[in-house]
Amino acid sequence: MKNMKITVAYDGTNYYGWQKQDGYRTVEGSILRAIDKVMHRDVRLATAGRTDKGVHAYGQVFNFQVADNYTEDNVRRGLNSFLTGDEILITKVEEVDDYFHSRFSAKGKHYRYILNTDRLMHPMYRNYKGNTIHSLDLEKMREGAKLLVGHHDFQSFTNSKPDEPINTMRTIDSLEIVQDGDDFIFDIKAESFLRNMVRIIVGTLHEVGRGKRDLVWLENAIKKADRTSAGPTISAAGLYLIEVYY
């Protein structure tokens, strides 16, 4: 058997997230069906980062074992030919050593959030950008971003269920914000993320950027380690898994 590392881009609009769930249209479910059609096999995928409903990816990564007669090229072509609807595109297939695991071997991930501030944002962006009617103070948000970078308890920045005790310590390696016309683009890199962490971070920085909250509030939101002390979970529409680093 060969271990294949697969990079995949998708438009998450019409999917109930990555993870296979019976009765729902999911990205993983569609890929498993394509694999079954190409290889007539039921397989298990190891995946770098499960994305939620409506979240998009440029460079999601998964891996699985294929029979020795498959090449990188025919895995890519075969899967793409059965991924109909053009919503999912396998962009790269690489044979990797047996020890490679898309999740456990990952050194980090890069997520991007696009937040548009045009009151008359064109309807074509409704599934691809978040939108706010408030004007945002870029410098204030950058000051807020500085407070979030580094090693912290991000308990306030996750919607994990409270009865599931998990380690909420995480390290944000970088959090950069640039403005491009009406768009504010947030680029966040970390070794790993908690559930909804990027969307809550952007939702929290939005509160600071619009002037509803200040930096002291944000500092306290981190310190308090309590979900209610941070900002809301912003919509999934503007979120992209850009790349997984190995």
| Candidate ranges 115-123, 143-151, 203-211, 224-232; the one touching a second copy (CB under 8 A) | 115-123
**Closer to a second copy by Cβ: residue 72 or 143:** 72
Measured from the CB atom, the residue of 25 and 126 that comes closer to a second copy is 126
- What does the CA dihedral 42, 43, 48, 50 come to, rounded to 10 degrees? 30
The crossing angle, in degrees rounded to 10, of helices 72-82 and 27-39 is: 120
Q: Which residues does 59 contact at the CB level (< 8 Å), separation at least 6?
A: 7, 8, 9, 91, 241, 242, 243, 244
The set of residues, in sequence order, having a beta carbon less than 8 Å from that of 166 and lying 6+ positions away, is 160, 194
Q: Which of 2, 11, 53, 143 binds a second copy (CB under 8 A)?
A: 11
CA distance 192 to 169: 10
Query: Catalytic: which of 52, 86, 137, 214?
Result: 52
Spatial CA neighbour of 47 closest among 115, 120, 103, 108: 103
Active site (annotated) includes residue 52: yes
For a second copy, what does the binding mask look like between residues 126 and 155, x meaning CB under 8 A?
x-x---------------------------
State the minimum distance, in angstroms, from the CB of residue 127 to a second copy: 8
By CB under 8 A, residue 123 contacts a second copy: yes
- Residue 110: Cβ within 10 Å count: 18
Binding mask 47-86 for a second copy (x = CB under 8 A): ---------x-x---------------------------x
Positions marked catalytic: 52
Q: Residue numbers of the site for a second copy (CB under 8 A)?
A: 9-11, 13, 56, 58, 86-89, 91, 120, 122-124, 126, 128
